Amino acid sequence: MFPKFRENVWHINPDQQAATLITSRATYEVPTRSALAFLKMRTYCTGRNSIDVIAERSGLSIGDVSALLHSLEPADIIYSDDVDDRISREHVRDVLMRAATIWSRELQMSYIGNEFVSGELPKIVLLGWLLEMYHYIKDFPMAIEHAAKRAEGALRDLLLRYADEETGHEEFVLQTLMNLGLTRDEVKSSIPLLSTRLVGLLMRELFELEPSSVLVVAAVIEAQDFNESQIAAFKNSINRHYGIDLHAFDPYFQHQQIDVGLGHAELLASHLDLIEVQDRRTLDQITNGIHDLKHSFDLQGVELKAYFTTLNGKYFPRQPVDFASI
């Protein structure tokens, strides 16, 4: 046996008796001790290592590895690559919907924006995050247009409409930054961090491969609905931790509410019939590409902290290096 796993997301608090395992099919409670032992061996479960090798490399016994694998059978996370080269459209659409759901939830839970609510990061990182949101939101409709140029028929029309609806939304973030003391020129003349550029590049790479993947990406990254109490709680937390006026973030949340009203997060569910790809190799590339994109936002969070937490002479906002400066 050469075990390999379906996508599995773990939330583990060593102080709690049970950990949470999330798959695209269901959510499970697993004893924390077993979850921690599983993570020791998961590193080597690539589908290329036998149980003996996994035990040797992880430091677990062969019996422990076998027992852990057996205990996870109800979660149906062990799978085989032995599937047909062409897959039914119905199955493709079902899998992509489930992938979008699990990665959207994971992104919401791990996103750096959550750390500002608890005041874990300095105010300068909050400003840096908004600057990166400005650049990302400004670039996003151009990435969608990149896909639309490679699409046809109803998909092309939908993508052009989506790009048009997203165009200009960076102005809401710019207004928020101006409310926080930056000038319009400071924001517009700045350049994004490398991780933010990576998000745009990965999108274009993915959209060139398959334009309909825009719909899956939208299901993963688009803003979810925020009710009035959640917005008020965020504003109150930002006010308490950073002394920011309660109305400073009004433009930012206005943008989110516009996107929610336009139904961008539901584009995939509403237009599943436009997902036509059935080729296994292309589907593998799409799935991996969306997973990489999800993690590029995690990388953005790491870079935001690294760049802005202690500036030590780094330019704020980040500035281009032009020819005359050399």
Where residue 63 falls among pLDDT bands split at 50, 70, 90?
A: very high
Q: Read off the pLDDT of each residue in 134-158 and give the average, rounded to a whole number.
A: 98
Task: Give yes or no for residue 8 having a pLDDT over 90.
Answer: no
CATH of domain 9-75: 1.10.10
- Across residues 73-101, what is the average pLDDT? 84
Q: What is the pLDDT of residues 180-225, one digit of tens each?
A: 999 999 999 999 999 999 999 999 999 999 999 999 999 999 966 6
What are the tens digits of pLDDT across the range 257-306? 898 899 999 999 999 999 999 999 999 999 999 999 999 999 999 999 99
pLDDT class of 64 with cuts at 50, 70, 90: very high
Q: What is the mean pLDDT of residues 101-122?
A: 89
User: Which pLDDT does position 78 carry in this prediction?
Assistant: 83
Instruction: Name the CATH topology of 89-325.
Output: Heme Oxygenase; Chain A (1.20.910)
User: What is the pLDDT averaged over residues 217-245?
Assistant: 88
Cβ proximity of 40 and 59 under 8 Å: yes
Q: Check: CB of residue 319 under 8 Å from CB of residue 191.
A: yes
**Where are the chain's structural domains?**
9-75, 89-325
Q: Whose CA is closest to 17, among 30, 3, 1, 5?
A: 30
The pLDDT of residue 147: 98
pLDDT band at 243 (very low <50, low <70, confident <90, very high): very high
Q: What is the pLDDT of residue 72?
A: 82
Give the 3-state DSSP-derived string for 117-152, with helices as H, strands as E and coil as C.
HCCCCCHHHHHHHHHHHHHHHHHHHHHHHHHHCCCC
What pTM, to 2 d.p., does this model score? 0.90
Number of H helices, E strands in the chain: 15, 3
- Specify the pLDDT at position 110: 86
pLDDT at 81: 67
Based on its alpha-carbon atoms, the radius of gyration of the chain, rounded to whole angstroms, reads 22
pLDDT in tens, 11-56: 899 889 999 988 888 888 889 998 999 999 999 998 899 999 999 9
pLDDT of amino acid 225: 63
Mean pLDDT, residues 151-177: 97
Distance of CA 164 to the CA centre of its chain: 23
pLDDT at 111: 86
What CA–CA distance (Å, rounded) separates 85 from 282?
Answer: 10
Percent of the chain whose pLDDT exceeds 70: 97
Burial class (CB in 10 A: 0-12, 13-18, 19+), 64: middle
| Alpha helix segments (H runs only) across 5-152 | 32-42, 51-58, 62-71, 89-110, 113-117, 123-148
Q: Is the pLDDT score of 83 beyond 80?
A: no
CA–CA dist 223, 218 (Å, integer): 9
Mean pLDDT computed over every residue of the chain: 92
Task: Give residue 108's pLDDT.
Answer: 87
Q: Can you give the pLDDT at residue 82? A: 62
Residue type, 165: E
Q: What is the mean pLDDT of residues 300-320?
A: 95
